[in-house]
Amino acid sequence: MKNTVTFGGISAAPGTRSTGWCPVPGTTQRLPVTVINGSGEGMSVLITSAIHGCEYPSIEAVFELAESLDPARVKGQIVFVNPVNVEGFLQRRPYIVPADGKNLNRLFPPDPEGTAGDRIAWVLTEEFMKKVDFHIDTHGGDIPETQPSYVYYPGISDFPEALRISEEAAGYVLHAKYRIRSRATNHAYTYSGILGIPSLELELGECTRWSREETDQYLENITNVLKYLKVLPGEPVRRKIPAKQITEGVYLDADCAGRWYPSVGRDDAVHAGEKIGEIRDFFGKTLKEYFAEYDGEVLMVVATLAVNEGDPIIAYGR
């Protein structure tokens, strides 16, 4: 017989949906949580969104899914934490947790004694990530970012089965130009992989804009993965043409503040030694030029003129 389940202090009996707030100890932060405890046995899946608070197609899609799913159709549990970065969402702040200026998706493994972002990451890990069988983290182009759609899956873990399942699940993301095996370890989804929990990070949308079409594409992506996991009924659909595989990437941050001028666009290829952008000061002096290390394809380009030191500016991979 199925039992009542609890995530972040929010409990749901079999066949029901419960909502509530999970506090983050030592801060004024709290996480909005929806727990759907299905009527049948199955996996537990965590779906997170708004770790970066302005990536709207994913945020809206996760809101709609959490509000509309019928628990009677679910086998296992689906746990939604959205928005994870509540202040970033409400204040329309790209990248960071406003309380401490930290990028929440760089704070894993978390520090329970750290500042607000660290403690959010710790609660997310202890109350949610460690209690599920699969983690889907959803993103998209933040305020300054123009990018194609892609799906990341973890590439580093002492749990090879988690890596295998993650890679296989990535094949069921229908709207993605690229499929990227990540070598990062400090993101939410890659840390799930390190813990032995299969995971994906989905990216769709750019420059904060969102539309009905993008939201529906995101819903189709998530729903198809949930069917692959047998948490939702129905047969999952595999892409007829697989997303292009990327196994190596370069992610560049600005070395200084100023005006950013990319030399390539979202859908361009880059070539070894080619200039891909520069930063100028307020009087036209070039402060820093950037050149491609190898032949590859653009994964993200910042489209805003203003840039601060440490901000992401461009990414490419092969």
Domain boundary among 179, 211, 244: 244
Question: For the chain, what is the domain count?
Answer: 2
Do 115 and 164 sit in the same domain of this protein? yes
The answer to whether 260 and 302 have CB atoms below 8 angstroms apart is: yes
The mean pLDDT of 159-165, rounded to a whole number, is 98
| Separation between Cα atoms, residue 91 and residue 198, nearest integer Å | 32
Length of the chain: 318
Dmax over CA atoms of the chain, in Å, equals 71
pLDDT tens, 63-118? 999 999 999 999 999 999 999 999 999 999 999 999 999 999 999 999 999 999 99
Do 159 and 299 sit in the same domain of this protein? no
| Separation between Cα atoms, residue 193 and residue 199, nearest integer Å | 6
User: According to DSSP H, which parts of 91-181 are helical?
Assistant: 116-123, 160-170
The mean pLDDT of 225-247, rounded to a whole number, is 95
List the domain range (segments joined by +) for residue 279.
249-317
Do 22 and 116 sit in the same domain of this protein? yes
Do 180 and 211 sit in the same domain of this protein? yes
| Separation between Cα atoms, residue 74 and residue 280, nearest integer Å | 53
The mean pLDDT of 157-173, rounded to a whole number, is 97
Residues 6+ apart with CB under 8 A from 175: 149, 204, 217, 218, 220, 221
| Separation between Cα atoms, residue 78 and residue 10, nearest integer Å | 13
pLDDT at 157 (0 to 100): 97
Q: How confident is the model at residue 1 (pLDDT cuts 50, 70, 90)?
A: low
Q: Estimate to the nearest angstrom the gap between the alpha carbon of 76 and the chain centroid.
A: 23
The answer to whether 23 and 30 have CB atoms below 8 angstroms apart is: yes
pLDDT at 2 (0 to 100): 79
pLDDT at 240 (0 to 100): 86
3-class state of residue 80 by DSSP: strand
| Separation between Cα atoms, residue 36 and residue 45, nearest integer Å | 10
| Separation between Cα atoms, residue 70 and residue 75, nearest integer Å | 11
Q: Which CATH number do you get for residue 120?
A: 3.40.630.10
Do 155 and 266 sit in the same domain of this protein? no
Whether this prediction's pTM lies above 0.85 is answered by yes
